[in-house]
Copies of this chain bind each other. A is one copy, B any other.
Amino acid sequence: MTVTTPAGFRAAGVAAGLKSSGAPDIAVVVNDGPDTGVAGVFTSNRVKAAPVAWSEQVLHGGVVRAVVLNSGGANACTGPAGFQDTHATAEHAAAALTAQHPDQPFGAGEVAICSTGLIGERLPMDKLLPGVSAAIGGLTVDGGDAAAEAIMTTDTRPKTTVISGAGWTVGGMAKGAGMLAPAMATMLCVLTTDAVADPQTLDAALRAATRVTFDRIDSDGCMSTNDTVLLLASGAAGVTPSAAELTAAVTAACHDLAQQLIADAEGATKQIAIEVVGAADEDDAVEVGRSVARNNLVKTALFGNDPNWGRILAAVGTTAAEFEPDAVDVAVNGIWVCRGGAAAEDRSKVDLTGRDVTIRIDLHAGVTEATVWTNDLSHAYVHENSAYST
């Protein structure tokens, strides 16, 4: 049930024909309150999709009562006309929701919009608006799974999560399998909670959570124009958790969804954790982890079951992190193949036959650590991304 597991939320997912496959492509999530608190983080890509520009504006208003999400088109690089399309979608949804509950009229400025799919093409509004109407007509308190399915693009499976607190719950859904290197944001993700929390607490919890989860997955080094994560709070549980409790639950939900994203990344045959330890500070640890995560030679080597630690060191050497090249240790799946920047244990001892790979890099420059998660670079990634839009 995911986003509808917490009390106070309804959702739906329908097929509107945006995808030529006929698969579901429009989702709506509604917060029935009593609270309407919201927090959000968005892509730091300077080329932002129209729905990102719109939703950033909506969040400034401080109230989000509904989120409309579509797959089958990113509505990015579509100019002023694309922004008008997003605006029209919000107006349309607000009118349909108002018709459903005339006693609680919705404004377009309370409707966040998320889109995902091919960049550079207008959305077919003649299909999208009827689809939004249909989804709103089908909203139920059991609609979370249908919504999660409707936001998939190259994902092979929906990603959902539920984290339970004491008398309250966090639910969530996410999509994303490529162009997957969020920075200060994530792919499309909607989190819900029935906890009572003020906007400052929601915002702090969400930023703390994304910083160590979505911001630390890097599938292909390519940052999207559409990354959005929203956290909606209904207050329907009537329970006010502490800020620490809320942050822990939101972080657990984000971690679960982020791991599902990496596990389903385009073409991936390996799920790789890069644990950087002994760093002078967190920025250094993340920079080193990301440089390894983005290195095509490391990623192709792991696809080939090759514990090629020399490529790992070459990647570490491109960073500005504090370390001495002749002090770096590297372990692959527990075998310390490199000590002091040179060969140590026999690389043939490394077992890479499984799907999970752990690379541990000790910089010997401090006591801070951070983990970045990525996947390998395979033939299937090349195939999928050389044939996606045409």
Contact = CB atoms under 8 A, between A and B. Distances in A.
Interface of A: 45-48, 74, 76-79, 81-82, 118-122, 178-179, 183, 220-225, 294-297, 300-301, 303-306, 308-311, 313-319, 325-326, 338, 340-343, 377-379, 381-383, 385-390
B326 A389 contact: no
Give the top 10 A-B pairs by smallest Cβ distance, nearest first: A119-B310, A304-B386, A47-B317, A79-B342, A120-B310, A300-B385, A45-B317, A46-B317, A300-B386, A303-B386
A340 B179 CA distance: 23
A377 B222 CA distance: 14
A220 B379 CA distance: 16
B300 A179 contact: no
A47 B303 CA distance: 24
Nearest to A305: B390
A75 to B, nearest CB: 11
A223 B82 CA distance: 40
Contact of A301 (B297, B315, B326, B385): B385
Contacts of A294: 221
Contact of A297 (B78, B121, B179, B300): B179
B389 A313 contact: no
Given A46-B325, A120-B342, A76 B310 contact: yes
A313 B224 CA distance: 10
Contacts of A386: 300-301, 303-304, 306
A47 B120 contact: no
Contacts of A390: 304-306
Nearest to A120: B310
Nearest to A376: B386
Given A79-B341, A120-B308, A120-B342, 14 more contacts: A45-B318, A47-B316, A79-B326, A79-B342, A82-B342, A119-B308, A220-B296, A221-B295, A222-B296, A300-B386, A306-B388, A308-B388, A379-B379, A382-B382
A61 to B, nearest CB: 24
A119 B341 CA distance: 11
B385 A313 contact: no
A239 B309 CA distance: 49
Contact of A47 (B178, B224, B325, B379): B325
A386 B308 CA distance: 10
Nearest to A298: B222
A77 B304 contact: no
16 contacts: A45-B314, A45-B317, A45-B318, A78-B342, A79-B341, A82-B342, A119-B311, A119-B314, A120-B342, A183-B318, A222-B311, A296-B377, A296-B385, A304-B385, A304-B386, A379-B383
A316 B327 CA distance: 36
B310 A74 contact: yes
B385 A297 contact: yes
Nearest to A82: B342
B389 A314 contact: no
A226 to B, nearest CB: 9
Contacts of A179: 297, 311, 314
A7 to B, nearest CB: 38
A389 B79 contact: no
